[in-house]
Amino acid sequence: MENLVARSHSDDIKDLVGALAKAQGIMKPAVFNKVNPHFKSRYADFSSCMDACRVPLSSNGIAVIQSCETIDSKLSLVTTLAHTSGQWMKSEFPIITSKMDSQGIGSAMTYAKRYSLCGMVGIVADEEGDDDGEAAVGRPKKEAKVKEEEPLEDEGKWIKDYLNKFTPEDQSSALEYMKKVKDHFKWTVVKTIQELLKDEVKLFDKFKEHKRQIKKTEIA
């Protein structure tokens, strides 16, 4: 009997690769929603990575299956991309942790799931390291030092200065656009406005696109 454990893909993967290429063409980058206190770098957690690829993969007939298996007496995470054609490909990621308890294995599993998914699908998920990787190797978690911002004038003045860049009839939409950017990046109001005003040409180009989207929604 053929040893399927040793195989990394089905005999034919043409349809799967074609579907994956289409999925990658519409896939958005994962949102960096976490901060590693050790490296002071940002990264996207597993949930954010899944959000980035779930719809593109599903709409192209690709399912993600992740299971924990014992291979050669060692614990491993097996990630499989399965296509509706029956074609598949998989990869194995060793579960390595300094503590073989529920917390240690759980952290190592989350780390493995994220890295395996990103590697197979093509998602950029971090700048350097992350919390799950730190927990898996047993390094104690440090409290991130919050950098104190330089004293800034109140939000009201920043919003007023921002809105003054727009015509009176556009100010309501401009405020809505500012809130949309703020919520997306999870910035403060001041940080959002600072970033928007760094490049006013780009700001107004993006704002025009925002207005077009609103118009489409109203027509629909």
Domain contains 149: no
In a domain, 80, yes or no: yes
Same-domain status, 60 and 14: yes
Structural domain includes residue 143: no
- Whether 18 maps to a domain, the answer reads yes
Q: DSSP secondary-structure letter at 43?
A: E
Pair 109, 40 in one domain: yes
Same-domain check for residues 22 and 118 = yes
Q: Answer yes or no: do 126 and 17 share one domain.
A: yes
The total of structural domains in the chain comes to: 2
Residue 159 sits in the same domain as residue 120: no
- Check residue 70 and give its pLDDT: 85
Give 180's contacts (C-beta < 8 A, 6+ positions apart): 210
Out of 67, 101, 136, pick the residue that ends a domain.
136
130 located within any domain: yes
Question: In this structure, is residue 144 part of a structural domain?
Answer: no
Q: Which domain holds residue 93?
A: 4-136
Looking at the fold, whether 88 and 181 belong to one and the same domain comes out as: no
As a whole number of angstroms, the longest Cα–Cα distance in the chain is 75
Same domain, 87 and 50: yes
Please identify, among 109, 136, 163, the residue that sits at the C-terminal boundary of a domain. Answer: 136
Residue 127's pLDDT is what?
Answer: 55
Do 94 and 191 sit in the same domain of this protein?
no
> Do both 96 and 190 map to the same domain?
no
Q: In tens digits, what is the pLDDT along the chain, a chain of 220 residues?
A: 344 446 899 999 999 999 999 999 999 888 888 877 666 677 888 888 999 999 999 999 999 999 988 888 888 999 999 999 999 999 999 888 777 777 888 888 888 999 899 999 988 765 544 444 444 445 455 444 444 444 445 788 889 888 999 998 899 999 999 999 999 888 999 999 999 999 888 899 888 888 888 777 766 5
Residue 146 forms part of a structural domain: no
Q: Which of 108, 136, 164 delimits the end of a domain? A: 136
Q: Is the domain of 128 the same as that of 184?
A: no
Looking at the structure, tell me whether residues 127 and 162 fall in a common domain: no
74-83 β-sheet, strand order: 62-71, 74-83, 88-94
Q: Could you tell me if residue 88 is inside a domain?
A: yes
pLDDT, position 218: 67
Q: Residue 153: what are its φ and ψ, rounded to 5°? A: -65, 160
Same domain, yes or no, for 66 and 117? yes
